[in-house]
Structure formats: structure tokens, C-alpha cells
């Protein structure tokens, strides 16, 4: 099996209230990035931020993966990393586990 090379991706923070999203991945990017970009709402904190970043990274690294497996995998990894970290990330208001959607 050959190794797939994954292009670098830029991560930006932008309030996404109107879009009702926590984040999104854009393969085309914009004039500034000139390549793939992940946009995350800067109001996210703790495990929710981690889950969203992993979710969008999965879309970038595995573009053929459907949404349901992306959601389950991102939440699983985020919870594992959150618990492994000893909850050293800021914001104790965020629960230390997110529910995986079926």
C-alpha cells in the first residue's frame, strides 16, 4: 500500500453565527490561502473546539468519507485526547464528552 501525501491546510478562525456551523472545510480556499482551508468559530473552546478541528481535518485528509463516520471518528478521537490530556485545555463549562450521533 502506498502512502498518500496530504496537502497542508490552513486553519482560520471566524465567527460563524449566521451559518449555524461550528466549522467548515473548503478545498478551494480563498484568495488569501490559495489552497485548502479550515474555518472554525473562535467562540468554541475545550473538547468542542478539538472535536471540530479533528472533524474538519478528517474531511481534508479523507475526502471520500461520508459525514456520519467523520462525526463518529472525530468525536471518538476528541474524547480520547481530551481525557488523555487530563482536561488541561481551558473552559470547564464544556462537558468532557460529546455524544456520538448515529
| Chain segment 1-17, per-residue pLDDT in tens | 567 788 889 999 999 98
Q: Tell me the pTM.
A: 0.80
Strands 23-26 and 37-40, by their bridges, are antiparallel
Give a yes or no: residue 101 inside a domain: no
Is the pLDDT confidence value at 79 over 60? yes
Distances (CA, A) of 40 to 3, 13, 56: 28, 5, 9
Residue 86 pLDDT level (bands cut at 50, 70, 90):
low
Give a yes or no: residue 96 inside a domain: no
Total count of domains within the chain: 1
| C-alpha–C-alpha distance, residues 12 and 62, integer Å | 20
Give a yes or no: residue 38 inside a domain: yes
Domain span at residue 29? 10-84
Q: Model confidence over 19-43: pLDDT tens digits?
A: 789 999 999 988 888 889 999 999 9
**DSSP-assigned beta bridge partners for residue 25:** 38
Give a yes or no: residue 91 inside a domain: no
**H helices present in 1-102, as ranges:** 46-61, 67-84
97: nearest Cα among 79, 85, 81: 79
Give a yes or no: residue 93 inside a domain: no
Amino acid at each position: 500500500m502506498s502512502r498518500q501525501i496530504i496537502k497542508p491546510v490552513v486553519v482560520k478562525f471566524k465567527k460563524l453565527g449566521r451559518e449555524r456551523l461550528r466549522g467548515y472545510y473548503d478545498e478551494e480556499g480563498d484568495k488569501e490561502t490559495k489552497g485548502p482551508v479550515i474555518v472554525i468559530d473562535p467562540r468554541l473552546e475545550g473538547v468542542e473546539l478539538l472535536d471540530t478541528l479533528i472533524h474538519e481535518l478528517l474531511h481534508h485528509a479523507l475526502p471520500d468519507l461520508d459525514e456520519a463516520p467523520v462525526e463518529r471518528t472525530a468525536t471518538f478521537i476528541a474524547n480520547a485526547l481530551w481525557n488523555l490530556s487530563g482536561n488541561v485545555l481551558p473552559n470547564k463549562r464544556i462537558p468532557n464528552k460529546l455524544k456520538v450521533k448515529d
